[in-house]
Amino acid sequence: MSGASQVDCDVAIVGAGPTGLFATYYAGFRGLRVALIDSLPELGGQITAMYPEKAILDVAGFPSVKGRDLVDGLVEQALTAKPEQLLGRTASELATDDDGLTLTLDDGTAVRAKALIVTAGIGKFSPRPLPAAEGWVGRGVEFFVPGFEPYRDLDVVIVGGGDSAFDWAHHLEPIARSVTLVHRRDAFRAHARTVEQVRASSAAIVTKAEVSALRDADGGTAGPLAEVELTVDGVVETRPAQAVVAALGFVADLGPLQQWGLETHRRHLVVDPSMRTNLPRVFAAGDITEYPGKVRLIAVGFGEAATAVNNAAVVVDPSAHVFPGHSSEG
């Protein structure tokens, strides 16, 4: 029914990342009809868009699993619910009434549901720019590393001090000719274990530094990227680089959700222990939620998804029970 003017379902789920995919599966397990909505054109959310090759170490049952492989399993599981997939569309308006709610998408589609679960993660996101890289994006400068092979035998400069920067430095070091990680401070936000792995490798870590210019082989900007100029503690130096990864984080935007009347705290949705928001029939789960003691992990999002679906099931059908029994029971 892609492109249909109206979609009817029991539960609408906004956000097709790991939490949204598990919520979709669990809603199917509860016998609910699901519409799954995401502004990205494919399932998987932030992991698919930004970290498909990243090794994820904190999902129960997987000592280590690539983001891509985790998403593949979640998608396979979610599709058992036969959800209506409304991808590449943004939920723009929400109206509630005594019988349910109507979610209007930016293409005009109206989704009529009895309950809504918001699993939108950090919302829509855009990367923070690298000022010196203006004009070079797509010409040697990228913000994410969806695959490692294109960097084989290249000199790679990674800018940033967070988990993404160090993860990519760790994974690219065996493949690239050289890896240089540039950060403006001596302290890093990345996980200490990954920092130590990069320190122990052949990758160079340059601190108190910033990228001040990018140049081609002739010292201009018309040709392919050949070198970067770094300003290190006030001293200018040049390093070879055919690729620069600007891992400077991203700006999150809840977009139209902020106009729905949802209670928020620091751009997160406030929920109670049943994952209810302040609006009737509207629940939330995953990184977008806020409550005392909140921990933002994929594993936590899975539990919140089940909690949200089980409580939403009672809203859909008041005769239902919050706890349906274990899925392993015959």
Q: Which parts are annotated binding residues for FAD?
A: 19, 38, 46, 51, 91, 125, 287, 328
Report the candidate in 68, 43, 74, 42 with the shortest Cα–Cα distance to residue 54: 68
In angstroms, the CA 90 to CA 299 distance is 26
Cα 73 to Cα 71: distance, rounded to the nearest angstrom: 5
Find residue 16's DSSP bridge partners. Answer: none
Phi, psi of 183 (to 5 degrees): -145, 145
> Is residue 122 helix, strand or coil?
coil
Whether 163 contacts 55, CB under 8 Å: no
116-59-146-17 Cα dihedral, nearest 10 degrees: 0
Secondary structure letter of residue 131 according to DSSP: G
The alpha helices in the chain, defined as continuous H runs, are 18-29, 45-50, 67-78, 163-172, 192-199, 298-316
Instruction: Indicate the SS3 state at residue 240.
Output: strand
User: Are 109 and 97 in contact, with CB atoms under 8 Å apart?
Assistant: no
66 forms beta bridges with 55
Amino acid at the residue 180: T
Nearest in space to 178 (alpha carbons), one of 155, 204, 160, 200: 155
Phi, psi (5° rounding) for residue 20? -65, -40
